[in-house]
Structure 1
Amino acid sequence: MIYLEQVTPLAQTLIDSAQLDETGNYKLELCDVDRTPALYNLVCNGDKIPLFLQGGDRLTVSSVGRVVHNYTVEGSEESELLRRFYQPFVAGMQRLDALSSSPETYRMTDEEIRRIESEYWAEYRRIKHEQIKFIVEHKSSLAGVYALYQRLPGETYLFNLDGDVIYYRMVAEAIEERYPESSYLPLLASEIARMDARQNLMSNIAETNFPDVELPDMFGRKVRLSSLQGKVVLVDFWSAELGNSNAINAELKEVYAEYADRGFEIYQIGVDVSKDIWINAVQEQQLPWISVCDFRGRNSPALGLYNVQKLPANFFDRS
């Protein structure tokens, strides 16, 4: 059987299927397809072929042997361009997987292991170089949008925390000019806004010398802000009872993971009265930084020292 899925940012929905005839041919027909290309997956034996389809397209997709490695596309410029990115990217991912999952590593010498590691990172850099090159060269294509969102094993970012927004903005501007009605523009705009907000957190908060505070952590041990002297410290006021605390801390965790080994620390002050609620939030969200709270809520002296009027509130201390 051949299946066709429609892919959106939130779901993959099965919309049609066809039985292969005795010669291995099939036919799928879609009605009321938008004139702006959208992403679909053609699924065969568990392998997925990504396609960009739009109203009026007549595609021929052919393959011999393993579908992903050998398929060809005729009748869609965007889908053919996507194939030129997708096939090498998948092949590279499979090579990385083979290098990282060798069952014989326990028998290898240190030199052999280092050789495999060297091969892995050389392949990783090659794939990444080709991915970035494809995005830049085809920034006005939806295939470029697809490539923008693909990640190699262990990756959170396409390039790095600060640099990704450059590629997203470049692609968004080119797509808006070529496909002004594309459903992918709001997605790109949202991603760019999120990245800008994260960068602003690191660069646009007022820098000054802030008053010292000493508050207890969840174990009752008092932690003085000045004990972190020499580090770049983000003093963050929050409350576990805020409805958006989980999302806000998730953003902070990305920043912390990127900069913690470069002398960055977060001194997070809980503006709460319930010890149970605050401790549960810290533990459930697995917050990796310094978390303190005096359980006096809005009456905490720390709020007055920092003139905090609303939550959340952030301050940089570079002392």
Structure 2
Amino acid sequence: MPIDVERALSAGPSSTRISWGHKDVQLYHLGLGAGVPATDPLELRYTLESRLHVLPSFATVAGGGTGVVGGLAAPGVDVDLTAVLHGGQSVETHRPVPAAGSATQTSSVAAVYDKGTAAVIVLRSEAADDDGPLWTSQAEMFVKGEGGFGGERGPSSRSGPPARTADHEVRRGIREDQALLYRLSGDWNPLHADPEFAALAGFDRPILHGLCSYGMVLKAVVDTVLGGDVTRVVSFRTRFAGVVFPGETLRVRMWTGPEGEQGDRNGPEGVTGGPGRVVLSATAVEREDAPVLTGAVVTHP
């Protein structure tokens, strides 16, 4: 079996030194669709180096996204990329991410779950600089065809959004070339660029990176609910419920009332935050609101 569970879990964490500058942050934000309108003062906070604020989701690509990539190359893990889908993601920030810096990133396989027809590899990364912890990131990688080895099924979350009209709703268009731009931040999986590779994975065309939609939705929350203040984000977690294609439109719904907090109680485990919560869903408008992100929660003070 390509996944040697015992070996993967017993392997010690790997550490690497990562660094980034303002150009890396700007490229990441542009890959999320920031900068439209180009002269909007709110957008300049994402695109102009003299005013730059960093979305916490940048943690998923800092250092070229080595946390996830390194995890898939961990001892005991040897999987076919055509069988891999991003199942879930969380980022918890311990303080604001600087526009330029360096850190030591420590990554490990935290768990491997047996879902029957598939395996889920949980990859955990922690980054710290000389001033202490910066962020903790956790990715759940769904590997088709690698289940059935008799392992634990792992936690199951069935939470959905509150059963009422969302407090906020926005649409975010995905450019035709957005995946090509986003991949320059470090995720070179050909699934997002090569039509032939996408066909091998069962798609009629390349799909957008799950982490791109993840960042787009977080930006929508910051701009709509948090007054454009990226430093108010404590954590953001989600499950990837379906794919989205370049050229489509994301519909992002946000619930900010007490019902949102009730919905969060049954959400995915592993992320803590302040008392404020925004519960989210994201769907693909052109495909009758097919689910893209679900079980999504942003926590803030």
Q: Which structure has greater strand proportion?
A: 2
More helix by share: 1
Report the TM range for the smaller structure's normalisation: under 0.3
TM-score by length of 2: 0.26
Q: More relative contact order in 1 or in 2 (CA 8 Å, sep 6+)?
A: 2
